[in-house]
Amino acid sequence: MDILKKIQDHREQEEELKWEGTFSEYLELLKERPYLAQSAHSRVYNMIKSAGVVEEHDHKRYKFFDEDIYGLDEAMEKLVEEYFHPAARRLDVRKRILLLMGPVSGGKSTLVNLLKRGMEQYTHTEEGAVFAIKGCPMHEDPLHLVPNHLRKDFEEEYGIRIEGSLSPLNTMRVETEYGGRIEDVLVERVFFSEDKRTGIGTFSPSDPKSQDIADLTGSIDFSTIAQYGSESDPRAYRFDGELNKANRGIMEFQEMLKCDEKFLWHLLSLTQEGNFKAGRFALISADELIVAHTNEAEYRSFIANKKNEALHSRMIVMPVPYNLKVSQEERIYEKMIRESDIKNVHIAPHTLRVAAMFTILTRLKESKKANVDVLKKMRLYDGEILEGFSDVDVEELKKEHADEGMSGIDPRYVINRISSTIIKKELTSINALDVLRSLKDGLGSHASISNEDKDRYLDFISLARKEYDEIAKKEVQKAFVYSYEESAVTLMDNYLDNVEAYCNKAKLRDPLTGEELNPDERLMRSIEEQIGVSENAKKAFREEILIRISAYARKGKKFDYQSHERLREAIQKKLFADLKDVVKITTSTKTPDEQQLKKINEVVATLVDEHGYTSSSANELLKYVGSLLNR
């Protein structure tokens, strides 16, 4: 009953939002809320902006895209700043078709669907409200009723510029239904809906021989010719083409460059002049954002044909590359799995991350910089801080190859391989090795991968495997250290006592004998070397620790094991290095003794409780790490 109540509430909200009145009453609304008269491009831009904008590192992140488009913040910023924003300000950009160009499964369709769904919701808000002449199949802007000779006066009074002419159908209706009194023409609020074909249109190419231009511009209703006596009578015409229905909103051209030429020529007039030809009528005004998408191969073929120059000059091409951030690629897979029937299968931690590493490596281009290999590049792009590199270096890397991210493995391939592994082997749990194995097996049957690329991709699978080996060792390391938490705290306290004595040029007192001792340099270095602190940098590192301890003391806080991330990592690594033999023995022996069994069970429990493993995947991880350590 809960869902039925929500359906009822939604219906009641829809009823509350409805509005109907005369044109004169609509003008009163405009005086209070002039933004109601915004153009289609302006409405789309304001919709995106209303979701929120975050400024970070001289870049803008538009939160509107956050939940569906991953890792393409810069591409989305360019799209908004170079197309939607200037188009909303009535600059010439709005007279261009927005063509999204990118590789397969790169997010083009997702982006267009996001805009369409967003517009459907936005027209239900106060700021995104759309009003149209009641009964008009094209949801025409009521301001088209204002005669041309009065439009300048209207702009001076209301501050709103009117563009476009009244459609042939509404011109006739004003005369026949309202006796020429435009102030009495009924106006209503409309809500965009792709399903109801209101404000959102979609055109998909099919066989040019069978597809009719009427799909775009509407057609004559032959059943009414006898009634109205002429094909040029607008009442005998069905204004039900996609261009008619998308008026005031968004018109999507799927795989636009696959369309027959005759369908594209209508766009020349629509983009440049804001009107198109239909039937035996004068040009029909339309205010709509035309967005199309295609892949790079088709786009290159299109621009190579001289016949397409006129249309090409009326396009703004926006590249939509693949995501190049591992963490964001992981989110793409998580989303695709949530939406699938394999969501109940246990996927061991780091499995999707390792798959994402492989995928990102296939999309990256080799850097010209001698000190940057693809692994470093992958880490830098994902926001990792690497010694010797700054944000400026990352920006320079991104500028090296304009087409980076336009090729490589697509997300669907990875999900297909994961699904294949689960279905074939009837698994209830998979790990990173299962997925890497499946990705490798699938390369031979991937039709679009050349032999040269296949060899490169096999190298990337090896690299991803090595990365996973390190991740697996760290994971077990953390679990073992967690079981030795007291030892870690003791080791840290001992280190801090020695650091304090070193920095203050003091001596330590032996708790048993009471004799004075010099700070234990060997102990301090054995810990610092775990995180790459050099001999020259040790003094600065120790002083920084002491400053941190003082800062905590001033605030009345205790400096503990969790207070310094790098030092905690060093302690864990040092402890794990000391425990490595214990790990080897407990994970590799076939008949562990009682003490070893207890330790294994503790580590498995930690992996399950703290790290998201199942007991089965935790035991597999332990066995694998044991084999790595025993090599």
Does a structural domain hold residue 549?
Answer: yes
User: How many whole angstroms separate alpha carbon 102 and alpha carbon 473?
Assistant: 38
pLDDT at 319: 92
pLDDT at 78: 94
Does a structural domain hold residue 618?
Answer: no
CB atoms within 10 A of CB 292: 24
User: How many whole angstroms separate alpha carbon 248 and alpha carbon 200?
Assistant: 8
Sorted by sequence, the CB contacts under 8 Å of residue 547 that are 6+ apart come out as none
Q: How far is CA 408 from the centre of its chain?
A: 18
What region does 300 belong to: left with phi over 0, alpha with psi -120 to 50, or beta? Answer: alpha
* 420, 539: one domain: no
Does a structural domain hold residue 469?
Answer: no
User: How many whole angstroms separate alpha carbon 98 and alpha carbon 87?
Assistant: 11
Residues of the chain with pLDDT under 50: none
Q: Which residue, 477, 459, 472, is CA-closest to 351?
A: 472
Report which secondary-structure segment, H or E, holds 187. strand 186-190
Strands 219-220 and 237-238: antiparallel
* 378, 411: one domain: yes
* 405, 513: one domain: no
* 291, 378: one domain: no
* 433, 495: one domain: no
- Mapping DSSP to helix (H, G, I), strand (E, B) and coil, where does residue 123 land? coil
Strands 200-203 and 53-56: unpaired
CA angle at 219 for the pair 216 and 223, rounded to the nearest 5°:
155
Does a structural domain hold residue 390?
Answer: yes
Sorted by sequence, the CB contacts under 8 Å of residue 383 that are 6+ apart come out as 325, 327
CB atoms within 10 A of CB 534: 9
* 246, 353: one domain: no
* 249, 204: one domain: yes
Total domains in the fold of the chain: 3
Does a structural domain hold residue 631?
Answer: no
Does a structural domain hold residue 219?
Answer: yes
pLDDT at 517: 86
Distances (CA, A) of 448 to 176, 250, 408, 444: 61, 33, 10, 10
* 442, 528: one domain: no
The answer, as to whether pTM is greater than 0.75, is yes
* CATH code for position 221: 3.40.50.300
CB 202 within 8 A of CB 194: yes
* 492, 407: one domain: no
Q: Which residue, 142, 235, 147, 145, is CA-closest to 190?
A: 142
What radius of gyration, in Å, describes the C-alpha atoms of the chain? 33
Q: How many CA atoms, within 13 angstroms, populate the side-chain half-sphere of residue 154?
A: 18
User: How many whole angstroms separate alpha carbon 331 and alpha carbon 323?
Assistant: 11
Dihedral, 479, 483, 488, 490 alpha carbons, nearest 10 = 180
Dihedral, 444, 447, 449, 451 alpha carbons, nearest 10 = 60
* 309, 362: one domain: no
Residue 440, domain extent = 326-447
Residue where one domain finishes, among candidates 588, 608, 625: 588
pLDDT at 219: 83
Q: Where are the alpha helices (DSSP H) in 307-450?
A: 309-312, 326-338, 351-363, 374-381, 391-400, 411-425, 432-442
Does a structural domain hold residue 18?
Answer: yes
CB 97 within 8 A of CB 316: yes
Does a structural domain hold residue 608?
Answer: no
Q: Which residue, 251, 254, 291, 284, is CA-closest to 269?
A: 284
- Mapping DSSP to helix (H, G, I), strand (E, B) and coil, where does residue 6 land? helix
Residue where one domain finishes, among candidates 288, 319, 350: 319
Sorted by sequence, the CB contacts under 8 Å of residue 610 that are 6+ apart come out as 479, 482
Q: Which residues pair with 516 in a beta bridge?
A: 509
Q: How many CA atoms, within 13 angstroms, populate the side-chain half-sphere of residue 356?
A: 23
CB 491 within 8 A of CB 524: no
* 167, 304: one domain: yes
User: How many whole angstroms separate alpha carbon 333 and alpha carbon 350?
Assistant: 12
* 308, 332: one domain: no
